[in-house]
Chains A and B, each alone.
Chain A
Amino acid sequence: MPTECVECGKRAILKRPKNRKALCKDCFYSVFEYEIHETITKNRLFKPGETIAIGASGGKDSTVLAHIMKLLNDRYDYGLNLVLLSIDEGISGYRDDSLETVKRNQIQYSLPLKILSYQELYGWTMDAIVKEIGMKNNCTFCGVFRRQALDRGAAMLKCDKIVTGHNADDIAETVIMNILRGDIARLGRCTSISTGSEGMISRCKPFKYTYEKEIVMYAHFKKLDYFTTECIYSPNAYRGHARTFLKDLEKIRPRAILDIITSGEDMAIKEEVRMPIQSTCQNCGYIASSELCKACIMLDGLNRGRPELSIGKNNKRKKILKMTAEKAKEAGKNGKLNGANAVHDISVSQDVENMF
């Protein structure tokens, strides 16, 4: 006997990953869409008349996000102007293909699309960065640059908000990861559905309570056009551990993902714990927790030919840069080397080496 849909009694086609309830296709669509609508209205994510940039990568989450945002905007009359915003990291064999998907989506949903590239913003493509730093920590560069690129793109398009396709699994994974890394500042803010400080464009995650598996199923049944390849540069070691743990946990108890998010929301941080103070970057004016924002520090590292210095402790980086400059000065005085070459001076590199 076929399993019946718990809502309407018709033949069920799936068990919801969230609570293992059997549903038919139509009921699944309506429950899925309604829950996201609920999340949006309960958290008052948008106001009528706002322009919203949808961060679109061409992957399943953002494709479903674009589809759902358009659908809900029409169905419930949110009164939003939707724009697709894509970032081209310059990864050949991956991003160029996925951007093709986004371009097709643009036509399917008839939404305006803006593509911004790392090349035009920073003068570096990810291909070039990976050539420089190798396959480890490259995701740190990409992540920092993309975050800023999205903001800049949204500012260019005069958007009020950015929506991203982060789903419940992503957020739960981040909670676990921040605990394991002891990143208390991020632990405090990673579960909030809408983030953004004064003067910055706020970002929100309408899929905060939506299971990744349900997004996949929705895209599958709706036959949405999305791109499935993993990034060629992301071995992503540490997040991978958290991910495996989370998937195992989901097998034992499907609701665990939501419980982790609840736990993340419920945590309170001691008042005496020192938190990084948010200020603005002296160089580009973007939000930063020190004098310069991380993107400027990283770009500086890349341009100097010492990208590894831009990851890790800030004061260590400053100390090393200061030392390099002094050495360069000294070397210049002795007439052995000019300032520009000093960075690559072997003796300097060895001093730097010994500091670790």
Chain B
Amino acid sequence: MCSTASFGGNSCGSRDEEMIKRKTQKRRDVCFKCKTGDPFVVIRQGDPFCGTCFDTHVIHKFRQGLGKTKILYPGDKLLVNISGNVSSLAMLRLLATGYDTASHKKITADPKIVVVDDSFMFDSGESPVPAILREVERVPDMPRQVFVVPFQLVFLSNFRERCKEFYEGNKDRKIVDFNEMRVDFEKLADSARSTFSNIETVSAREDIHRSLRLQILSTLAGILHSTKIMMSDTSTDLAARLLSSVAVGRGANLPHETQYLDNRLPGVTFINCMREFTPKECAYYLRRLGVAPITVLTHSTLLDPIVGSVNRLTDTFISGLQATFPSTISTVMKTSAKLQPMSNCSRNCDVCLLPIIQREADVTDKMSELDLEDKLCNGCVIALSECEQDVREIVPKSSNVKAILDEFLIS
């Protein structure tokens, strides 16, 4: 970003060139850490890692995050959300290193792996669950119990009670598959699909989808008496989320959305344990272990990267900027670390579970036509305002949102 290259000889431009020259002159044929191993991956410009040093580096980084926050205690039930994407598989493997007998500081929390299956929403239709289960099976050393939750369950009335009942009956099984519940899954899937097709914009669809996913996870945490949920969003994901949260009016909740620990709900902590990782590090770690990534679709996967949705656009924007200005993501993450939640919050939003900040009535009244501000947060009001009248079906019947919507919406 330095200038004056066009002006005279004393320019920063020539300095930049010199630096790059100096960097490239470094020996690149051996690992910069141990000076003996063959280079495997370059994650900082000019500093190649050998495979072993790279492993140590990522494992150390993973453990450092958990250690610094002192979040895990012996015997804790720890929900591990595995979606099948690269970062979630890397997270699983990194967590497993903590159970390795050779590990000098073992993780003693009790991991419960959760796979939420939403593949029925997308046209490809092929569920990634079998592949994920195979992958989970391959992980050595780790004690594990796996929970497979079909996404459409969240549309079931008294979702929580029914799931709890099912869990109580099957709690000792190695794989607790909620697909075995006596429920008409096809009907639920249809109602989920039709609800989502009634949301006009893909941006709102993605927003609500994510909220419902978090609801499933937190409900399951409640059923299992667990208070900690591991999420696998990388620094790139979180930087993009910060920006898209700003764009959808969730500015008050940025710390919850992007910091290492997300305490949006009292009693449940979402741990963003991959916050310091780049997707590249995750991908190369998996490559070291010979793990193939699993394709996972989202609402905007097949859409245009610019006009697809707010999320998709922010992703494209952040990665583009990162390519030109390599400090972008780390700067955004640093900005996020300096923010704190607003203090004037009364209760949590019924949809996305984020705290709602209280405002003076006339300040907010810029555009919103839904008068739900006391029950929903600003971001969800915006998302729901892009839904057709069937909006009331959107929100799980288990929560009390349906009642609110019935009360306030004119149909």
Contact of A353 with B by CB under 8 A: yes
Contact indicator A175/B201 (Cβ below 8 Å): no
- The contact of A268 among B309, B331, B341, by CB within 8 Å, is B341
Q: B203 in the interface, Cβ–Cβ < 8 Å?
A: yes
Given contacts A248-B306, A268-B339, A269-B340, contact A134 B246 (CB under 8 A): no
Q: Is A144 in the interface zone, CB < 8 Å from B?
A: no
The yes or no answer to A313 lying at the interface (CB within 8 A) is: no
* A42 at interface by CB-CB < 8 Å: yes
Q: A182-B334, A263-B246 are in contact. Are A134 and B5 (CB under 8 A)?
A: yes
Interface set, chain B 289-348, CB cutoff 8 A to A: 306-307, 309-310, 313-314, 317, 321, 328, 331-332, 334-335, 338-343
B205 within 8 A of A: no
A126 to B11, CA, bound (A): 20
For A236-251 the 0/1 string (1 means CB < 8 A from B) is 0010010001001101
- A189 interface residue, CB < 8 Å from B? no
| Residues from chain B with Cβ under 8 Å of A352 in the complex | 10
A249 with B332: in contact, given A266-B357, A268-B342 (CB under 8 Å)? no
Interface residues on chain B, number (Cβ under 8 Å): 49
How many angstroms from the CA of A258 to the CA of B201 in the assembled complex? 18
Is B249 on the interface with A (CB-CB < 8 A)?
A: yes
Is B382 an interface position by the 8 A CB rule? Answer: yes
Determine if A267 is an interface residue (Cβ-Cβ < 8 Å): yes
CB<8 Å pairs between A and B, sample of 7: A241-B321, A252-B201, A253-B310, A258-B367, A264-B246, A266-B378, A269-B339
CB-CB under 8 A from B362, the residues of chain A are 42
Report B65 CB to chain A, min CB distance, Å. 19
Interface size on A, residues (CB 8 A): 48
- Residues from 84 to 123 in B contacting A, C-beta threshold 8 Å: none
A182 to B332, CA, bound (A): 6
B225 at the interface (CB under 8 A from A): no
Binds A, one of B38-46, B158-166, B250-258: B250-258
Do residues A252 and B310 form an inter-chain contact, with CB atoms below 8 A?
yes
- A267-B15 contact in complex given A135-B6, A136-B3, A255-B367, C-beta closer than 8 Å: no
Q: Cβ of B313 and Cβ of A267 under 8 Å apart? A: no
- Given A255-B382, A262-B378, A268-B339, A133 and B246 touching (CB < 8 A)? no
Map CB proximity to B onto A98-127 as digits: 1 under 8 Å, 0 otherwise. 000000000000000000000000000000
Residues of A near B332 (CB, < 8 A) are 179-180, 182
A176, A209, A271: the one within 8 Å of B366 (CB): A209
Taking the closest CB of chain A, its distance from the CB of B85, in whole angstroms, is 24
